[in-house]
Amino acid sequence: MTDPAARVCLLNPGPVTLTETVRKAMLGPDICHREPVFSDLMNRIRNQLREVYAEESTAYSAVLTTGSGTSAVEAMLGTLVPHDQRALVCCNGVYGERMANMLLLQQKEPLVLKGEWTAPLDIDAIEKMLKQNPEISHVVVVHHETTTGRLNDLDAVGALCHRYETPMLVDAVSSFGGADLPLKRWNVQACAGTANKCLHSVPGISFTLVETARLETQQSHSHSLYLDLITNHNAQCSGFPAFTPAIQTLYALEQALVELAEEGGWFARSESYRQRTELLLKQIPERVKTLLDEGHSQILTAFNLPDDIPFDDLYDHLRADGFVIYAGQKQLMDKIFRLSVMGDLRNDDFQRLHQSLSRSALSSPTRTGH
């Protein structure tokens, strides 16, 4: 029997294992979002979010959205992509394709470059599209494609965005706080992030960093009232949010941002992810290969599931030992499993994981027949 009070580690890519201090922060006082005390909290968080990439973000403002990461992505595309121009969406996974879908639903016909999920973005194809289609308003990309664990090469895309003077819109939902995000260097107009992935807080709040000048000088293209970044920005700058925010989750987010800063910021966190991933790769039995040969992030690794092991069996085995692993999505559903190293994971968790893995079907020789 598993002890219900035993520690459970989430190795899925968000929500993450929380620190006790972040969890307890949610027990803060009952306040109204029209009180100055809320205003102060919101202002601190908006500043802290910008400070995560302080050197690159002086010209940006953080706009908070109550909702999961998808709401921030949808708000970003809805507000910033005009109807009479076309966004170029570069896809190599679920989340890129989801952004193309969002634009279609917003009746903004995107140009879509659909690549293989296991392949890097095709930089030459992006350049060709930019050359041939001067009506492209934005290049839309996912930074860390959680589908496969690839960290897309936004240095290369960013160079094109400068050369063709086309701003970039980034889904940074699974990288914000855990990988470098040089906004200016990549000509990023906006990027969307969330509280409950690399920032190690609870789900409920997401946000967009947007060039302040874009928010202040141009109109919104949003057909959504709730997800319009410009009205939300104006309201948040006045000190009060346009709608009722998830107040308790903001207590948690502030604490998580303090803990990120204490740890040494995004760079220190990405270093600790790198070390954890290195450890993890050593613990995975040799017959289990990574899905990607190169280009995978330090945040999440996708592994090919051996033919003789159903995902559910592996999940159940690890779950009984206190670890939650993540399946593949869509066409990768029964083909891979994914392990993320986000969250409050400690050395002894990795020791227990090692023991669990070595007792799992992954470590036993291939069984033939029944």
Ligand X SMILES: *Cc1c(COP(=O)(O)O)cnc(C)c1O
Q: Return residues touching ligand X (CB under 6 A).
A: 13-14, 68-70, 73, 95, 142, 144, 146, 171, 173-174, 194
Nearer to ligand X, 67 or 356 (CB): 67
Nearer to ligand X, 18 or 362 (CB): 18
Look at residues 148, 196, 199 and name the one whose alpha carbon lies nearest to residue 301: 148
- Which residues lie closer than 8 Å to 337 by C-beta, 6 or more apart? 302, 303, 305, 311, 314, 315, 325, 326, 327, 328
CB of 194 to ligand X, least distance (A): 5
CB of 206 to ligand X, least distance (A): 7
CA distance 194 to 284: 29
CA–chain centroid gap for 180, Å, is: 13
Nearer to ligand X, 93 or 167 (CB): 93
CB of 65 to ligand X, least distance (A): 11
CA distance 204 to 216: 26
CB of 71 to ligand X, least distance (A): 7
Nearer to ligand X, 38 or 207 (CB): 207
Residue nearest to ligand X (CB): 69
CA–chain centroid gap for 288, Å, is: 26
What pairs with residue 144 in β-bridges? 151
Rg of the chain over Cα atoms, rounded to whole angstroms, equals 21
CB of 340 to ligand X, least distance (A): 9
Maximum pairwise Cα distance, the chain: 68
Nearer to ligand X, 276 or 317 (CB): 276
